[in-house]
Structure 1
Amino acid sequence: MQKTGIANMPLHSGRAPQWLFKRMVALSRAIVELMIIELGREELLRRLSDPYWFQCLGCVLGFDWHSSGVTTTVTGALKEALRGVEHEFGLFIAGGKAKKALQTPQEIINYANSSGFAPEPLIYASRVSAKVDNVAVQDGFSLYHHVIIFTQQGHWCVIQQGMNETLQTARRYHWLSFTLKSFVEEPHQAVCCNVKTKTLNFTAKESSELRQASVILSQENPEKIIKEIKKINELKLPQRHSVTIHDVKAENLYKILLKTYEKQPKDFESLLETKGVGAKTLRALALTCELLYGTPLSFKDPARFSFAHGGKDRTPYPVDRTLYDRTIEILKKAIEEAKVERTEKLSALRRLAKITQV
């Protein structure tokens, strides 16, 4: 399992018109069903976790190829497409934009209760992946959209998006469950964006010592840490720091540090998961670690540049509704043929099994 990519897009206002969104839902359902039949649910998750493939899917569905809205609209169309057929397809989507993102744990629990699988690992993956992108990778983007797509077997991918209002840019983060070795060290396999920001990156490989030192500090008596943090306020820090001394206010940290002291987190992932530990807490610990232990801070942005039916904003051309509807019909026919062919193959295998048993 590892993070499979990040994509940056300009913020665009507006939403998909109802006539387009209705077609997006229909085409999404056809694509998902056909891919499950032909490739399987796990491969579908792999593709959705690929930022390039996801962007192509948005183009096929007729949305703006470079708009921030492609994330919310495409995942919204997928969620609507699966509504009522989640158990038949064996694929579930929880979460969404703003308040809907906060409902993710309860949605997972509801699906788990009706299908008989354990919700806890999925809830954990949802919560920690969001915490990493919002707190451990401090790139200036605040999450406002989060969905997790998963199977009954516990495989999942996360697609979430943050916003930088100053840059008027959105950044999309993709996660995949199959090969993840760590939530907190180099979780990116491919990072795709066209805007780099000054980033305090706790997940960088070179931040290994910083993560360890932060855990050690979080286990210390709060009074000791506050004493050291107050020393920082008396120092003139180098200009290279993305955090200023004004960000470090000892009185606001005491309650959080008391909580970590009582919890005694065993590793950085456990520290990160602690309720109340946010970006400012980690920045304060980072500066204190550098002062006490000389641990280097990484400011490497984990982003690298990279980059049917027409588009909502008439780019590269207006959506061709007739062509769009024809595509949906063709895919529906392909699904029916695939189902028939699959039935015939299963019947042949059964016949073969009976012969070999004689």
Structure 2
Amino acid sequence: MAHRAGSADLPLHGGRVPAWLGERMTRLGTIITEAIVLHYGRDEFLRRLAHPFWFQSFGAVMGMDWHSSGITTSVLGALKRGLSPRAHELGIYVCGGRGAQSRKTPSELIAIAERTGFDGHHLASTSRLVAKVDSAAVQDGFDLYLHGFITTGDGNWVVVQQGMNGERRQARRYHWLSEGLKSFLDSPHAAIEGRDQGIIMNLADARARPSRDAQLELLEDIGPDGIIRELNKIHPSGKAEQIVAQRQMDLPHLVMPMRHEVQEVDVNMRRLHGNLAAAAERGPKDFQELLLVPGVGPRTVSALAMVAEVVHGAPSRFSDPARFSLAHGGKDRHPYPVPIKVYDETIRVMKSAVQKGRLGHQEELLALHRLDEQARRLERYVTGPDLKEIIAGEYNQTRRLGGRSIFGHEIDIEHESET
């Protein structure tokens, strides 16, 4: 059935994505999307977006802060910018966004429907209903401020929306998937990503049907004023017995820490060592002979190994989204500054592979797939340095690799510190 596929609790971060990173996120996010569609189809791409752990890993591999609420806004923004010009070709349409943009989602869907022929009014109604469920039927202390609606030409869709709790400085992301839709009110969520914050009211759970029915009957029998009178009879302590005990569904649930630094507890080191070993042992040979991209060395291939995993990995592979920040760093210098030269090489190799793949020449795409398979084989037995050593090594070469963050170019930062 259609369901909320998962959820995530994330620390609230302010600020904007700098243009130099936003432009690269748009290009890489678009290329990764195309690769997934080429290999697995559009519906599989929707399934990926509906999984909170994959979504977080997707944002992390693009250089966004690995744990922050900003991943949701920046990923949806990058996809909207990158996929919209090619929406008719790919059959994928990205609508909505943050604040005022979220409220334009229904009109965007209707406008797209006029050009494509799918039922825009039905999807517009769906958009409103999904937003209402997470803002009214599920009252968990988070106020919605972002709503992203991604649909295909076949009318299948995924919704990624986010609410904030300003007092707790946290955000909660909700993922919905249309696949097999039966009801919006009988356990529709595929997942809710968030920290346990006590008892919440979820009237969209299937087990809440008796409660929903009782509310309608009560409203019909005694009216709003009668309901108020009955409420006033409840003991002031608020400890009245609950007629229907409710609890959250067991959904994929991602909780990210408040701290900025990436620690070893956040990373599956066995998998990370597999990524690095595949790049060091086979990457340069395979990528020069099969991808015909001279000069691409182990550092770029290690990033490509993680990108390839985002394209090909099963859901169980994304239990540690922080690992994917080791591909291209983070804009806030955690785990290290974004290595611009590596990032641009990654885009160049991926773009070449996807463009040739669209023309039927699969050699480069298959080489990426083999790189991912090699990493999985090696992770069974390889060992390597601990995370602190890996991050220190990245910092040692950050100037050579064009390291950059919201604080500026690393070469300028280091020069200032020296003077």
Q: 1:215 to 1:224 in 2, by over 3 A?
A: closer
Q: Partners of 1:5 and 1:92 in 2: how far apart? A: 22
1:324 aligned to which of 320, 334, 343: 343
**Which stretch shifts more, 11-20 or 204-213?**
204-213
Q: 1:28 to 1:343 in 2, by over 3 A?
A: closer
| 8 Å CA contact 2:30, 2:82 repeated in 1 | yes
What is the aligned partner in structure 2 of residue 22 from structure 1?
23
Q: Partners of 1:304 and 1:151 in 2: how far apart? A: 24
Q: 1:50 to 1:301 in 2, by over 3 A?
A: closer
Q: Partners of 1:234 and 1:228 in 2: how far apart? A: 10
Q: Partners of 1:34 and 1:303 in 2: how far apart? A: 28
Indicate the SS of the match to 1:143: strand
What is the aligned partner in structure 1 of residue 110 from structure 2?
109
| 8 Å CA contact 2:146, 2:163 repeated in 1 | yes
Indicate the SS of the match to 2:67: coil
Shift of 1:232: 2.0
**Which stretch shifts more, 73-82 or 186-195?**
186-195
1:311 partnered with 2:330: yes
What is the aligned partner in structure 1 of residue 205 from structure 2?
204
**Which stretch shifts more, 160-169 or 111-120?**
111-120
| 8 Å CA contact 2:172, 2:193 repeated in 1 | no
Q: Partners of 2:254 and 2:113 in 1: how far apart? A: 37
What is the aligned partner in structure 2 of residue 340 from structure 1?
359
Please list the CA deviations of residues 194-213 of structure 1 after superposition, one character each: whole Å capped at 9, or x if unmatched: 34243122123432210111
| 8 Å CA contact 2:50, 2:190 repeated in 1 | no
Q: Partners of 2:154 and 2:354 in 1: how far apart? A: 24
Q: 1:224 to 1:15 in 2, by over 3 A?
A: closer
| 8 Å CA contact 2:50, 2:160 repeated in 1 | yes
Q: 1:90 to 1:240 in 2, by over 3 A?
A: farther
Give the partner amino acid of 1:174.
H
Indicate the SS of the match to 1:46: helix
Shift of 1:39: 1.2
Q: 1:208 to 1:339 in 2, by over 3 A?
A: same
| 8 Å CA contact 1:198, 1:301 repeated in 2 | no
Q: 1:320 to 1:4 in 2, by over 3 A?
A: same
**Which stretch shifts more, 307-316 or 126-135?**
307-316
Give the partner amino acid of 1:104.
T
Q: Partners of 1:23 and 1:300 in 2: how far apart? A: 38
What is the aligned partner in structure 2 of residue 232 from structure 1?
231
Shift of 1:15: 1.4
| 8 Å CA contact 1:6, 1:51 repeated in 2 | yes
| 8 Å CA contact 2:164, 2:171 repeated in 1 | yes
1:298 partnered with 2:246: yes
Percent sequence identity over aligned pairs: 42
Q: Partners of 2:177 and 2:196 in 1: how far apart? A: 23
What is the aligned partner in structure 1 of residue 177 from structure 2?
176
Shift of 1:312: 1.1
1:193 partnered with 2:187: no
| 8 Å CA contact 1:3, 1:174 repeated in 2 | yes
Shift of 1:300: 4.7
Q: 1:76 to 1:183 in 2, by over 3 A?
A: same
Q: Partners of 1:17 and 1:191 in 2: how far apart? A: 29
Q: Partners of 1:81 and 1:17 in 2: how far apart? A: 16
Q: Partners of 1:7 and 1:168 in 2: how far apart? A: 14
Shift of 1:297: 5.1
What is the aligned partner in structure 1 of residue 145 from structure 2?
144
Q: Partners of 1:312 and 1:153 in 2: how far apart? A: 37
Give the partner amino acid of 2:359.
V
Q: Partners of 2:158 and 2:359 in 1: how far apart? A: 30
Indicate the SS of the match to 1:83: helix
Shift of 1:235: 3.3
Q: 1:306 to 1:343 in 2, by over 3 A?
A: closer
Q: 1:180 to 1:118 in 2, by over 3 A?
A: closer
Please list the CA deviations of residues 55-85 of structure 1 after superposition, one character each: whole Å capped at 9, or x if unmatched: 0000111001111111011100110001221
Give the partner amino acid of 1:316.
P
Q: Partners of 2:187 and 2:237 in 1: how far apart? A: 26
Aligned length: 291
Using structure 1 for the length normalisation, give the TM-score. Answer: 0.76
Q: Partners of 2:67 and 2:84 in 1: how far apart? A: 27
CA RMSD of aligned residues (A): 2.3
| 8 Å CA contact 1:209, 1:295 repeated in 2 | no
**Which stretch shifts more, 327-336 or 225-234?**
225-234
Q: Partners of 1:338 and 1:199 in 2: how far apart? A: 48
1:3 partnered with 2:4: yes
| 8 Å CA contact 2:92, 2:151 repeated in 1 | yes
Give the partner amino acid of 1:296.
V
Q: Partners of 1:197 and 1:89 in 2: how far apart? A: 43
Give the partner amino acid of 1:329.
R
What is the aligned partner in structure 2 of residue 41 from structure 1?
42
